[in-house]
């Protein structure tokens, strides 16, 4: 504890590094009794080392995004990686993103364009971001099938960001709810699997995060508003599974995850004793998600069941599932494969 206080007194050092550094000092001091002069010399050396460390941390912050961003496109951008980027921005401000816009590197620019949208509530940064992002607009088409990030993807991200930052909200991917709430995602289609798994809303002209999903809900594949715009469905996936949830922002209500709910209902009706995987993957597919009424949704699913002692696993295809949000009622029927 004393070592942690010492390290913190030297400079602004992240707790992670404090915890790593302090035990090392404690071990090295075990069984030693130092004179005041030697203690002063030792702390002076520690202070010098920590000054170098703080300088290195600052340099790391400046280069982190540039060195890491090439792994974001067509890969999983994890909440942990995003948290590191957010921490660096919290320490060094939005300038790291404005510097990235000037870098000429598509990956840096793509990341910075998306992250600057999160400064919507800061009027000065918002206006500065509009001026900085506008030159990135391009007439080049966006081809998400390309194996690398192209100029069209950057222009697409810039166009979306400006739709939010200029408060026009005219991009078709932005949902306008009946109560005036604006709903959208960032890093749209950054991966072959979908969009970053975080949802943002704007209410009373204030941006806030609605939710960030954890694994295995790794990508958002669609936001689907109900006909009356009071509810919206979220479809998500990993590289193995699919998921569906329904959100009622006005009343603060959320449905259970519907694909697993259907799996357990079918398993119960057919007396199938299934395993729940520790990673919560369901290995089930979903298609044709459609609102049939303002509070009812339908979709087709291919449901997977891992049964103890069974080989191979059980798959039930062509399952037609209906769910009424207000009643919390689900029903299904299995269509013939003919």
Residue 61 has pLDDT above 80, yes or no: no
In a domain, 34, yes or no: yes
In the three-class reduction of DSSP (H, G, I as helix; E, B as strand; rest coil), residue 156 is classed as helix
User: The tokens 């940064």 sit on which residue?
Assistant: 125
How buried is residue 162: exposed, middle or buried, by Cβ count under 10 Å (0-12/13-18/19+)?
buried
In a domain, 149, yes or no: no
Give me the number of domains the chain comprises: 2
pLDDT tens-digit map of 274-321: 777 889 999 999 999 999 999 999 999 999 887 766 666 888 888 999
In a domain, 293, yes or no: yes
In a domain, 325, yes or no: yes
| Residue 241 lies in domain | 217-338
For residue 148, the 8-state DSSP code is S
pLDDT tens-digit map of 164-212: 999 999 999 999 999 999 999 999 998 889 999 999 999 999 999 999 9
The angle subtended at Cα 220 by Cα 215 and Cα 223, nearest 5°, is: 140
CA 312 to chain centre: 34
For residue 43, the 8-state DSSP code is H
User: Higher pLDDT residue, 67 or 308?
Assistant: 308
Do residues 331 and 292 touch, judged by C-beta distance below 8 A? no
* Lookup: tokens for 5: 């206080």
Give the end of a domain, one of 66, 91, 111: 66
* Lookup: tokens for 295: 């509070």
User: The tokens 């002063």 sit on which residue?
Assistant: 40
Q: Is 128 left (phi over 0), alpha (psi -120 to 50) or beta?
A: alpha
Q: The dihedral of CA 91, 111, 212, 131: what is its sign? A: positive
Q: Is 266 left (phi over 0), alpha (psi -120 to 50) or beta?
A: alpha
Residue 39 has pLDDT above 60, yes or no: no
pTM of structure: 0.75
Give the end of a domain, one of 15, 47, 66: 66
* Lookup: tokens for 277: 């995987």
The angle subtended at Cα 99 by Cα 95 and Cα 105, nearest 5°, is: 145
pLDDT tens-digit map of 70-86: 433 446 787 888 888 89
Residues contacting residue 200 through CB under 8 Å, at least 6 positions apart: 117, 118, 183, 184, 185, 186, 207, 208, 209, 210
Give the end of a domain, one of 17, 36, 66: 66
CA distance 66 to 72: 11
CA distance 235 to 241: 11
User: The tokens 């080989």 sit on which residue?
Assistant: 311
In a domain, 87, yes or no: no
In a domain, 111, yes or no: no
CA 240 to chain centre: 18
Mean pLDDT estimate for the chain:
80
Do residues 196 and 187 touch, judged by C-beta distance below 8 A? yes
User: The tokens 């075990």 sit on which residue?
Assistant: 30
In a domain, 86, yes or no: no
In a domain, 23, yes or no: yes
Do residues 47 and 25 touch, judged by C-beta distance below 8 A? no
Mean pLDDT of 236-254: 96
* Lookup: tokens for 57: 């941390």
Residues contacting residue 309 through CB under 8 Å, at least 6 positions apart: none
How many Cα atoms within 13 Å fall on the side-chain side of residue 252?
0
CA distance 222 to 219: 9
């Amino acid at each position: 504890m004393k070592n942690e206080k010492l390290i913190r007194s030297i400079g602004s050092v992240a707790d992670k590094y404090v915890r790593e550094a302090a035990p090392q000092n404690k071990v090295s001091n075990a069984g030693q009794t130092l004179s005041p002069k030697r203690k002063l010399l030792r702390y002076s050396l520690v202070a010098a080392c920590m000054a170098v460390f703080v300088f290195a941390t600052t340099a790391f912050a400046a280069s982190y995004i540039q060195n890491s961003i090439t792994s974001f496109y067509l890969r999983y951008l994890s909440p942990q990686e995003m948290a590191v980027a957010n921490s660096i921005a919290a320490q060094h401000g939005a300038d790291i993103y404005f510097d990235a816009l000037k870098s000429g590197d598509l990956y840096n620019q793509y990341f910075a364009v998306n992250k600057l949208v999160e400064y919507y509530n800061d009027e000065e940064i918002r206006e500065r971001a509009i001026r900085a992002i506008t030159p990135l607009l391009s007439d080049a088409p966006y081809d998400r099938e390309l194996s690398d990030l192209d100029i069209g993807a950057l222009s697409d991200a810039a166009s979306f960001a400006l739709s939010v930052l200029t408060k026009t909200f005219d991009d078709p991917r932005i949902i306008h709810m009946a109560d005036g709430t604006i709903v959208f995602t960032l890093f749209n289609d950054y991966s072959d699997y979908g969009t970053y798994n975080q949802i943002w809303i704007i209410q009373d002209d204030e941006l806030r995060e609605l939710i960030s999903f954890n694994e295995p809900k790794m990508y958002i594949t669609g936001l689907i508003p109900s006909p009356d715009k009071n509810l919206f469905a979220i479809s998500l996936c990993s590289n193995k599974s699919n998921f569906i949830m329904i959100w009622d922002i006005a009343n603060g209500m959320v449905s259970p995850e519907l694909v697993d709910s259907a799996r357990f209902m079918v398993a119960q009706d057919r007396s199938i004793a299934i395993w729940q995987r520790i990673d919560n993957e369901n290995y089930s597919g979903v298609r044709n998600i459609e609102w049939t009424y303002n509070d009812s949704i339908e979709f087709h699913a291919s449901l997977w069941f891992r049964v103890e002692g069974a080989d191979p696993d059980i798959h039930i295809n062509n399952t037609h599932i209906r769910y009424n949000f207000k009643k919390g009622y689900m029903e299904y029927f299995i269509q013939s494969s003919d």
